[in-house]
Amino acid sequence: MNLFAKLKKLSDAFGVSGHEDEVRELIHEMAAPYVDSCEVDPLGNLICSRGKGPVVMLDAHMDEVGFLVRWIEPNGFLRIAPVGGWDERLLLGQRVVIRARDSRKVKGIIGATPPHILSSEDRKKTAPLEELFVDVGAGSREEAEGMGITIGSPLTIYYPCELLREGYATGKAFDDRVGCLVALEALRLTADERLPYRLAVNFAVGEELGLRGAKAAAFRVAPQVALALEGTVGADVPGIPEAKQPTRLGKGPAITVADRSIVVRPRMVGFLEGIARAEGIPYQYKLPAYGGTDAGAIHLERGGILAGVVSVPCRYIHSPVSLLSLSDLEGAVKLVVGFLRRAQELLR
């Protein structure tokens, strides 16, 4: 299976924060051949590990932004509450998929009032989230409930992952299924190597709700060195000055210097730079100080952990659909594999 096919499987899987079961089962299946053990902690983190000795940790989060059903109207329409950060300008008229109580998928549409019956002023306004509704074709609350929809049912906007053109993939949840794929590929490519430490890979829950899963996993795993893997903000689009573009597509994986959750120690930044130069991997810096990652929670655990971040630039994250360059994804895999082969140098 090629890299894009794996990305498609991960992107298409359902995994709203707090409801990562489908993604976790898929990742468990993909990781199991390359590790000694996989365990699920009480929060739902999937921790896969192999080897013995001091611990080096990789982390990528499984969850994606989405919504919960907060109310079912008597006429069968659904009201929704956000899970994670959404831009309300993007939501009207979008297709969604709802995971019902019995795990079946129910399709719906975020309703939009036709412009023909709006005033000229109303056409210029963004509908606030609390006024939005989802149409599942139900004629009553009882009919919606008969579909398995209840208060708290998770849903997200759904567009299947596909190639936009050769070398460029588009789909949902690249934040952070691309990080999960980088971790899985790093496991696969180093499977036959005896690394001089215990490698623990945490596939985290709840990152979009405040780095929750990674905090608990870092305490449990107790690594000495950690690397968070992310899909990050690619903003090389018209209207954004270059100085305000956190990363750009096609320029290689991004090494974080600082963001809102961590100032990465120069030792880690220099270590990643050295690997990229030695391996001939094009790389860029994620410009400070946008966003945050699980490294923000990890580096504060257990009295402090040396942590860094490697990201894949993705345009339009936290929107219905994202875009990435497969060359950046491949570069991130090479950089993380190089990191694992030399990580013992950071344990000294």
User: What pLDDT digit, counting tens, does each position of 285-342 carry?
Assistant: 999 988 899 999 999 999 999 999 999 999 999 988 999 999 999 999 999 999 999 9
Residue with tokens 């209207």: 239
* Domain boundary residue, one of 157, 184, 217: 157
Q: Are residues 209 and 313 in the same domain?
A: yes
At residue 291, the pLDDT reads 87
- Same domain for 94 and 209, yes or no, is no
- Is residue 167 one of the residues assigned to a domain? no
Q: Is the pLDDT of residue 115 over 70?
A: no
Is residue 163 domain-resident? no
21: how many CB neighbours lie within 10 A of its CB? 17
Query: Does residue 255 lie in a domain region?
Result: yes
Q: What is the CATH number of the domain that holds 102?
A: 2.40.30.40
17-64 per-position pLDDT tens digit: 999 999 999 999 999 999 999 999 999 999 999 999 999 999 999 999
Domain membership of residue 143 (yes or no) is yes
* Judgement on whether residues 97 and 186 belong to the same structural domain of the protein: no
Q: Is 136 part of a structural domain of the chain?
A: yes
pLDDT at 122 > cutoff 80: no
Q: What would the pLDDT profile of 137-158 be if each residue is shown by its tens digit?
A: 999 999 999 999 999 999 999 8
Cα gap 75→59, rounded to integer Å: 44
Average pLDDT, the chain: 94
Distance separating alpha carbons of residues 174 and 234, to the nearest angstrom: 12
151 and 191 in a single domain? The answer is: no
pLDDT of amino acid 307 = 98
Residues 33 and 91 in one domain: no
Whether the CB-CB separation of 327 and 181 falls below 8 Å is answered with no
Is residue 97 in some structural domain? yes
> 173, 147 in Cβ contact below 8 A?
no
Indicate if the pLDDT at residue 348 is higher than 80.
no
pLDDT in tens, 179-209: 999 999 999 999 999 999 999 999 999 999 9
Question: Which residue in 56, 1, 274, 292 sits closest to 183, CA to CA?
Answer: 56
The whole-number pLDDT of residue 1 equals 78
* 286 and 340 fall within a common domain: yes
Lowest-confidence segment of 9-13, 122-126, 311-315, 327-331 by average pLDDT: 122-126
Q: For residue 222, with 0-12 CB atoms within 10 Å meaning exposed, 13-18 middle and 19 or more buried, which class applies?
A: middle
179 and 245 assigned to the same domain:
yes
Alpha carbons 310 and 273: distance in angstroms, whole number: 11
Q: Which residues are catalytic?
A: 207
Check pLDDT > 90 for residue 111: no
* Domain total of the chain: 2
The CATH number for 251's domain is: 3.40.630.10
Residues 258-298 pLDDT 10s: 999 999 999 999 999 999 999 999 999 999 988 899 999 99
Examine the domain organization and report whether 40 and 84 are in the same domain.
no
Tell me what pLDDT residue 129 has.
85
Please give the model's pTM, rounded to 2 decimal places. 0.95
CA atoms in the 13 A half-sphere facing the CB of 81? 9
Q: Where in the sequence is the domain holding 135, given as residue range(s)?
A: 66-157
Segment 55-107, tens digit of pLDDT: 999 999 999 999 999 999 999 999 999 999 888 888 988 999 999 988 999 99
Inform me whether the pLDDT recorded for 124 exceeds 70: no
**90 shares a domain with 36:** no
Whether 182 and 123 share a structural domain: no
Q: Are residues 227 and 335 in the same domain?
A: yes
Last residue of a domain, one of 124, 157, 190: 157
The 3-state DSSP class for residue 263 equals: strand
Position of tokens 């949840």? Answer: 173
* 89 is a domain residue: yes
Residue-wise burial string across 119-157, b where 16 or more C-beta atoms lie within 10 A, e elsewhere = eeeeeeeebeeeebbbebebeebeebbebbbeeebbbbb
Residues 178 and 281 both lie in one domain: yes
Is residue 164 assigned to a domain? no
pLDDT at 123: 66
- What's the pLDDT score for residue 116? 59
